[in-house]
Every structure is written in C-alpha cells, then in structure tokens.
Amino acid sequence: MSAPLRRPDGATTAFVILGAGTAGTIMANRLATRYAEQLQAGLVHITVVDQDGSHIYQPGLLFVPFGVYTPEEIVKPREAQLPRHVDGVKYLQATIEQVDVAANKVLLEDGVTLPYDILIVATGTRIVPEETEGMTGPGWREKVFDFYSLEGATALHDALEKFERGHLVVNVIDMPIKCPVAPLEFAFLADWYFTQKGRRDDVQITYVTPLDGAFTKPVAAEQLSHLLTEKRIELVPEFAVGQVDGTEGKLVSWDEREVPFDLLVTIPLHRGAEYVARSDGLGDDLDFVKVDARTLQAKAAPNIFALGDATDAPTSKAGSVAHFEAELLMENIDRALRGEPVEPTFDGHANCFIETGHNKALLIDFNYDTEPLPGSFPFRFGPMKLLEESRLNHLGKLAFRWVYWNMLLPGHDLPGISPQFVSHAHRDDTVGANH
C-alpha cells in the first residue's frame, strides 16, 4: 500500500540515493514499490547515483579464489537490478563530488546538481591498501593479495593454484571491515582447498589479527575457537600491522614483531566513500556517515538517512544488516515526510553464515545487545542450527546467491525472518530465558 506524503498539494518529493550496491538497490526498489502511485502521478522522483555500472555479489568474492564461483557468476549490471520501466526512477552513473547539507543538494563531479527532499546514503566502504606502508609496493598482486575486490580475488585464484608449499598468512589490518567473519572463512576454506589438492601438509596457515581473538563476539570465541586447533591454523592475536614488506615476505607490527609469509592474504584498511570527507558534518574520521544507530538518521541533518556499510553504526557491515535496516528505514522515512519523530526501531540485527570448509558452515544471529546464541533458525524447529557446523548451513550459504538476486535486492521481505532480533521465537526456551 502506498503511504501518504504530507506535502503541499502539487508538490513533488525528490529522493536521492547515493550508491547502487546492496543497500542502495534495496532502498530504490522498496521506495518504488511503496510510492508506486505517486511515481506514476509524477509526485515522486527517485534518482540513484553510482560511479560504475557493475553490481558485485560481494559474498561471492570469498569463493572466487577457490574456484567455487567465477567472476562472471557474481557480477551483473547495476541498472538491471534497479526499478525498470518505472516512470520517475532514474539511474545516473557519475562520481559524487559532495553533499551540500545546508542546501539540500548533491553535487556531482560533472557539474550536475541534484536537489533532494530525502537523501539516502548507501555508498558502502572502499579498501585503501595504500594507507598501510609497503602493502602496494613490491610483491603487490604477486605474493600480497586481497579478496575484497574483484581484481584481487581473481588474481588470488591464480596464485593459490600455483602455491605448492610454504607459509600462507591471512591478516586483518584493522577494524571495521566488510563482513567481519570473511577473513576467518578464508582461512578455513584454505585448509579445505589445500586438503583437496593434497598439499595441506606442505602449507602452514596462520591467522593474524589486531583483535585479542579470532572471533569478534565473546560467545562465538568461546564456542568456536576449537575450529582453529582442529584445522591446524595458528592464531597470532593483538598484532597491529605497521608495515608489509613484500620483498622480504614479512608483516611487521608497530611494536616490531614480525610474521614471515610466502603468500599474504590481507584485508586492507576500510574507509567510507571519499565524497563524505568533503561534505560538511556528514562523516567521521574514517568517512563513515555519522548516524543514530537505532533510527539510521544522519546526525548532519534530519532529512538524511544512511544504511549498510556506509554508516558508523556499531553493527556488522554485512548484506543481512542492509536488508534489515532497509525494511525498518522505510517506516522512518514515512515518518520524516509526515513531519513526525523517527523511531529507534533498528536493534543492530545481523546474521551470517561462516564457511568452515569441507562443505560445512556455521550460522550466527545477534544484535547490539545479544551475543550469538545456540538454537535453531529461523524457527524453533529450524531447519538450520545456530553455532553448529552443518552441511545444511553450507548449502544455505550457497543458496543465498539466488536469494540475493531474486529476493533481497528487489526489496522483498524474507519469509519467517524478522528485521528485528527475536531471541525467543527460534531458540530453546532454556536459552532464551537466560537472555
């Protein structure tokens, strides 16, 4: 049902969405559905801006180095995922120069100005490997690789195929990063990959992290750390990288400890979009948009909202979070247009699969206030188990690619999955009662 827009008679409402990745595409499709009648009547206009035309299924980047997916299987045209043949919806491929918060307009690099009534920022994150000394120097894309970009994941696939023996190091430079469990998943999949190739005994795998453990959540750390031991993956915690020496093949910490490597898989520093830094009051020191973590309203202005990886909200930068945020954000946008106070409805809900290799995976579900709990998901009877390895969870992760393109991006609700964390509905009574 279309929601009423409490605007003066005949006035149009301009939505501008910056970013056509996961979060921006979901919002464009949800807005087009919610305001279908107003779009047709010319009372609403939606403009979506992104700097390139390729939409990448980012969870698939983890699988490209191991040959599970090819690049062609995880890339589609951005414009094809947005509302098509809908009057009033326009896609622009352009570079964003800045947001003029005071004037309610977006300035593009080519000189075009986009006025807005509601601005939705969904430009995600970018990796900045050049900000770590030596990372993009000698050895870059030769024995130092990332998999958080399509180019990096593709190059890493070729390197893994040729890697017969030696020391493979997986390293997180610093947090926050997209999909915080992906680096650990890579280490688990590397164990599986080299086992399948018959090379596992010749490859040493080390996981190096600035955190005090492999898992960011204490409950997950307590219940899942045994996986590292079982898979013979060495853990080096509290290692803050100051330099990558690609010539000598070593990581050097700020306190001058060293970890040698023959092949380094690095997760570089992450930042928000560059234009955020040029937009007065919009972002923090890392160029993430400052928001109220529960309303997703930007602190810079009440008619700006942000979601997905672009925000400074202390939740996981993951596709599930973008979906949950988008579902709840629609209601706050309606409230803002009606001149009503927005509501603190987003609770930080996140769930994600953790590939553990050998055709198994874990599933975790949590929010701002609740640690990952054991039990079943999405219902009491399952079918998937939380905090337990299973083949069904692995199949669920692979099936998510279809869900992503056909349900998540088009903005459909996922049956049985609430955008807000539900602590009792899908867990044992004894567990739920303690939280």
pLDDT in tens, 265-296: 999 999 999 999 999 999 999 999 999 999 99
| Residue-level pLDDT at 226 | 86
Which stretches does DSSP call E strand in 79-187? 89-93, 96-100, 105-108, 113-115, 118-121, 125-127, 144-145, 166-172
Query: Which of these, 122, 35, 43, 41, lies nearest to 323 by C-alpha position?
Result: 122
User: Is the confidence at residue 430, as pLDDT, over 50?
Assistant: no
CA 261 to CA 206: how far, in whole Å?
9
Q: Can you tell me the mean pLDDT for 306-323?
A: 96
Average pLDDT rounded to a whole number, residues 403-412 = 95
> 407 and 29 in contact (C-beta within 8 Å)?
no
Residue 407 DSSP code: I
- pLDDT exceeds 80 at position 224: no
Strands (E), 9-104: 13-18, 44-50, 54-56, 75-77, 89-93, 96-100
Residues of the chain above pLDDT 90, percent: 82
Residue found under tokens 């040959």: 67
User: Per the structure block, which two tokens stand in for 62?
Assistant: 């983890």
Sign of the C-alpha dihedral computed for residues 147, 148, 153 and 155 taken in this order: negative
pLDDT tens per residue, range 248-263:
999 999 999 999 999 9
Chain centroid to Cα 171, Å, comes to 18
- Specify the domain boundaries for CATH 3.50.50.60 within the chain: 13-124+273-337, 129-269
Q: Whole-model pTM above 0.85?
A: yes
Residue 206 structure tokens: 């080390």
| Residue 414 pLDDT greater than 90, yes or no | no
* 290 vs 310: CA distance, rounded Å: 9
pLDDT, one tens digit per residue, over 128-139 is 999 999 999 999
Distances (CA, A) of 408 to 320, 400, 413: 9, 9, 8
Q: Does domain 129-269 match CATH 3.40.50.170?
A: no
Return the pLDDT at 225. 80
Pick the CATH number of 13-124+273-337 from 3.40.50.720, 3.30.70.20, 3.30.565.10, 3.50.50.60: 3.50.50.60
Phi and psi (nearest 5°) for 62?
A: -60, -35
